[in-house]
Amino acid sequence: MLILVSLLLLGGYFHYLFKADAALGQPWTPDADARLFSQRPLPPPIPETSIATYSLPLSTRGRDIVDTAGRRFKLSSVNWYGASDELYIPGGLDVQHRSVIAQTIRNLGFNSVRMPYSDEMVMLNPHILPHLLTANPDLVGLRALEIFQACVEALTDEGIAVIINNHITSATWCCGADPCDAGWANDHLGPLCSVSQSEEDWIQHWETVMRLFLDNPRVIGADLRNEVRGVWGTMTWDRWATAAEKCGNRLLKMNDDWLVVVGGTESNNDIHGAATRPVKLDVENRLVYTAHVYAWSGWGSSEGRYSKRSYESFIQAMRRNWAYLVEDNTAPVWIGEFGAPQHPGLGDANYWNNLLRFLKFLDADFAYWAINPRKPHDNEKESYSLVEDDWVTPVLDYRMRDMTELIAGGSKRGDPPAEL
């Protein structure tokens, strides 16, 4: 009898969870302000946000990134992915010239781009098939690293700052449960990994990539590794911080003007370990932390994924994980990935509204995922994209409405968050 009652209770619990998750997927209706935004032209980019108007190099001062005159450079960024995936190059080069893609990014108001690469791309550095470069015929016949460099230079020529990101070891979509891509080194796993690298290999790949940009001051930094997590979330902060210091210091020996960007553990969610064990670099005022925040983040915790949390619960998690560094004026934190679909469910919309409310309150540095309208694998539609398939036409929806406000920013810093 006890077993039967237990099974009934357990079944009822799982039925409740199923219904709750189903409710989160119900379609969300945009509010009147978002609908009005979609009917108007996108406002032009703010000229003074361009990296071309700043006195370089950049450094850090408390929670801010600043130029040599002490003027804050707010990272208002977008991700342009592809070089970390199986085609080895940034997306869209078969649709638009790279300079047009750079213009699109600037026209959307962004002043910086996070450019991911894979270690396998560096190892192989393959010649790229011509049909992937039909809109960039001058790149036909070149290798992956040369094309990556050309895309970065198109961005910086447009007055856009670039942060390079080591995204994944194998050239594939990131990030799954594969232990071979759960950290910066996987040689301890032996033959399990088809693409194997040691910590020293990882650092040397970084040196190979960043050597391309030694003479480009608008390449402002290196985001050392995407979503470090270890096998099933076992990566300790101390181990990762130690490796990040080693890599960051090697890069600073090449160019001590670069910013060194260090993400959290638990897939970039958690930087609370920096409170007692901060990353320390040989060059002062070069450290930027980075965090990722998605609707599905927070899984495994007692309060569940961020898609279902109240605002109060959500910002408590943000403050514990990373926002304390900003609010205490300790170090900059760049929200290097976040995003939502063009047509969200109620859970996605709840997450988005909570996150953007908090980012606007902080006047935060950010990088939206992503500009790409298509994924490399099978040319699959990217529901998070900010442009149509032509890589030019903006998607004028609730996301661009909120990011336009976040880019303008500045006026709300210091106001207390509501409903605490």
Q: pLDDT digits over 177-195, tens only?
A: 889 999 999 999 999 999 9
263's enclosing H/E stretch is strand 259-263
Give the residues across from 27 on adjacent strands: 345
Contact yes or no for 235/180 (Cβ under 8 A): no
Backbone angles phi, psi at 119, to 5 degrees: -65, -35
pLDDT score at 298 = 84
| 20 occurs within a structural domain | no
Per-residue confidence (pLDDT) for residue 97, from 0 to 100? 98
Can you state the percent helix, strand and coil of the chain, rounding each to 5?
40, 15, 45
**In a domain? residue 6:** no
The per-residue pLDDT for range 63-74, each reduced to its tens digit, is: 999 999 999 999
CA dihedral 227, 233, 235, 237 (to 10 degrees): 70
- pLDDT band for position 5 (cuts 50, 70, 90): low
> Model pTM?
0.93
Both structure tokens of 194: 């088809």
More confident: 234 or 23? 234
CATH number at residue 244: 3.20.20.80
Would 104 be classed as within a structural domain?
yes
Domain-embedded: residue 420: no
Q: Decide if 260 is inside a domain.
A: yes
Q: Residue 227 falls within a domain, yes or no?
A: yes
Q: Give me 332's structure tokens.
A: 């900059």
Per the structure, the count of domains in the chain is: 1
Is 11 inside any structural domain? no
Domain annotation covers residue 413:
no
Q: Which domain holds residue 312?
A: 27-408
- The neighbour count for residue 260, using CB atoms within 10 Å, is 23
| CA gap 398, 377 in Å, rounded | 27
**Lowest mean per-residue pLDDT among 133-147, 151-165, 265-279, 398-412:** 398-412
Kindly tell me if the per-residue pLDDT of 127 is higher than 60. Answer: yes
Q: Where are the alpha helices (DSSP H) in 178-225?
A: 199-211
